[in-house]
Chains A and B, each alone.
Chain A
Amino acid sequence: KAGVTQTPRYLIKTRGQQVTLSCSPISGHRSVSWYQQTPGQGLQFLFEYFSETQRNKGNFPGRFSGRQFSNSRSEMNVSTLELGDSALYLCASSVRQGLNSPLHFGNGTRLTVT
């Protein structure tokens, strides 16, 4: 069974630009979550989607948005990029929404903002 696939693996953008990251969950998984990983901060929750609806949202500004398609694939968009947005962005899928369903993570997209 294929794992969670994130594209692209690496991305370099300049301040003020916008970026879209893509995530394909494990087949049959309907829940997709996004996390930001920065040194010293661990993994910060961005949002979770289930059945094309955002079910949970973390404490990030509105510049961070996402969506989920009918095939459970998800995209995350960051507009007006700032230097502090440089991070590893991780997507995770699970069989069902929230609760205690273990997350299966992709290898992430490393975003560098210059």
Chain B
Amino acid sequence: DQQVKQNSPSLSVQEGRISILNCDYTNSMFDYFLWYKKYPAEGPTFLISISSIKDKNEDGRFTVFLNKSAKHLSLHIVPSQPGDSAVYFCAANNQGGKLIFGQGTELSVKP
């Protein structure tokens, strides 16, 4: 039972344009959401998070949007840079101490 889903395994974007990565979840008890970025041969690194009491959180070029009614969140990267090329994981937490991750989306930003 995949409670957090990233339906796009890969995404290719031109440098300078917007990258939009999507994530859907099924458990309405999730109340905190995070995005992690992973480069090959490295562990994931925390990128940005959002609480369920908000619908938007922004940090520099990264913005996360949460639509609770649709159980959907998205990560926007503007402008995209080649160094952003990595695998992006969304994750959700229901206060149970267990972070549930999606399958990941591989972003490729082309110069």
Contacts and interface: CB of A to CB of B under 8 A. Distances in A.
A72 interface: no
Contacts of B103: 40-42
Interface in A96-112: 97-100, 102-108
Given A4-B43, A48-B98, A55-B97, A43 B89 contact: yes
A110 B103 CA distance: 18
A41 B9 CA distance: 11
A42 B43 contact: no
Interface in A57-72: 58
Contacts of A98: 93, 95-98
B44 A90 contact: yes
Contact residue range for chain B? 20 to 34
Contacts of B44: 43, 90, 103, 105
Interface string B86-106: 000101010111111111100
Given A104-B46, A107-B41, A99 B95 contact: yes
A5 to B, nearest CB: 11
Interface string A18-46: 00000000000000010100001111110
B67 interface: no
Contact of A102 (B9, B34, B100, B104): B34
A23 to B, nearest CB: 11
B59 interface: no
B108 interface: no
A106 B32 CA distance: 22
A44 to B, nearest CB: 8
